[in-house]
Amino acid sequence: MQTSISIVIVNYDTSDLLRNCLNSVFSGQVEIAEVWVVDNGSTDGSLEMIKTEFPSVNVIKNLSNFGYGFANNQAMKIASGKYFILLNSDTIISPGAFQRLALELDEHPDIGMAGPQLTNQDGTIQPSFGKFMNTWITFAYQFFLYKIIPVNFPLGDTIKPAQDSQYRHDHEVDWLSGACLAVRRDAVDKAGMLDEGLFMYGEDMEWCWRIHNAGYRIRFCAEAKITHLSRQSSRKDFSKWITSYTIGNLRFVQHHGTAFSFRSCGLFTFFGSIFRSLLWRIFSVYLRERKVESRQRISGYSNAARIGWIVFIKGKLTFQEKTRINTQH
């Protein structure tokens, strides 16, 4: 029997956050829901916690961290729902949020994906949707223009005043943040699943591109609210976060932009990352309490600069994917 909604949560060493997330999921959010947790090799007791406190949850246990896209795809391949709701473990669901997203898909068959308004823990609005990555957005990000002239791209932890009106009403968008995505199964069947070549970051934007091209609309739902404790997992390793974010954005432009825009984005990434690396070298002298973060960021921006330079010079980006995956159900 097909349940209406299959909730998929990817977890990696976020046991306490996952507990809070699951508690909010099971507190009357949906009449009936199938919940899957895909664990990417956690060592913090997450699996034991699920088994003890949430025995009805279906678990897929990976022996290592295989990334966001691969893990979500594992669950979607075997889940039974008419709709999938992909959810980060660092989220708290507000009452009625899932119903609102499901209603949007129920009433509009041409909407392939719907997403909520994300909020920070203090209730402020968090950026959650944007335009597809292009040369201008890359330039604005790399040289901090987005702090002066807001670009339609989810950057930072809070929206700019000029963006406020966009978050007060429902409307169509290019793409939505992967922190919470309600997706129609039919849209996944037509557009394909998440790009497993992206370890983390950029896969939500790339997926939305394909769903658009499959003939579906993508909708932001302001009334559906979900608290997102942004980047709780990635902040454990800023170097990996920066490197993955850079690869994800450049890979999108490589696949869906022009050769000129791809090389231009590579050049902007190179100079912007060099500048950010130098800034953090200076900061590290004064921010001794953030020594580890500084070291990781310098490493990450050095990687990003190298990647950007390769893209500019060679006009291509190679990303080696894992070829052998071992999983346990």
Looking at residue 225, its amino acid is K
Are the C-beta atoms of residues 206 and 255 closer than 8 Å to each other?
yes
Report how far residue 285's alpha carbon sits from residue 283's, in angstroms, rounded to the nearest whole number.
5
Query: Which phi and psi (to 5°) does residue 125 adopt?
Result: -75, 135
Would the pLDDT of 326 be above 50?
no
Please give the CATH number for the structural domain made up of 5-234: 3.90.550.10
pLDDT at 145: 86
pLDDT of residue 163 exceeding 90, the answer is no
Average pLDDT over residues 92-110: 94
- 10 Å CB burial of residue 42 (0-12, 13-18, 19+) is buried
Per 3-state DSSP, the chain is made up of helix, strand and coil in percentages (nearest 5) of 45, 20, 35
Question: What values do phi and psi take at 176, rounded to 5?
Answer: -120, 155
Average pLDDT for 24-39: 82
Asked whether residue 313 carries a pLDDT value surpassing 70, the answer given is yes
DSSP per position, 239-252: HHHHHHHHHHHHHH
| pLDDT tops 90 at residue 144 | no
Confidence of residue 329 (pLDDT cuts 50, 70, 90): very low
Residue 288, pLDDT score: 78
Q: Dihedral of the CA atoms 142, 66, 51, 35 (nearest 10)?
A: 70
Name the band, by pLDDT with cuts 50, 70 and 90, for residue 32. Answer: low
| Cα distances (angstroms) measured from residue 289 to each of 49, 115, 156, 277 | 32, 37, 22, 18
Residues linked to residue 5 through DSSP beta bridges, in sequence order:
83
Structure tokens that stand for 5 in this block: 């909604």
Would you kindly state where each structural domain of the chain is located, as residue ranges? 5-234, 237-314
Tell me the average pLDDT across 269-279: 96
Whether the CB-CB separation of 46 and 18 falls below 8 Å is answered with yes
Q: What residue has token string 């990781």?
A: 296
pLDDT the model gives residue 28: 65
Could you tell me the two tokens for 225? 């609210």
Tell how far CA 6 is from the center of its chain.
Answer: 18
Question: In degrees rounded to 5, what are phi and psi of residue 150?
Answer: -60, 130
- Residue 158's pLDDT band (cuts 50, 70, 90): confident
Please give the Cα distance from 285 to 55 (Å, whole number). 49
Q: What is the Cα–Cα distance from 270 to 139, expressed in whole angstroms?
A: 11
Cα 272 from Cα 307, distance rounded (Å): 12
* Residue 95 predicted with pLDDT over 50: yes
- Where does the pLDDT of residue 52 fall: very low under 50, low under 70, confident under 90, or very high at 90 and above? very high
Task: Give me the percent of the chain exceeding a pLDDT of 90.
Answer: 69
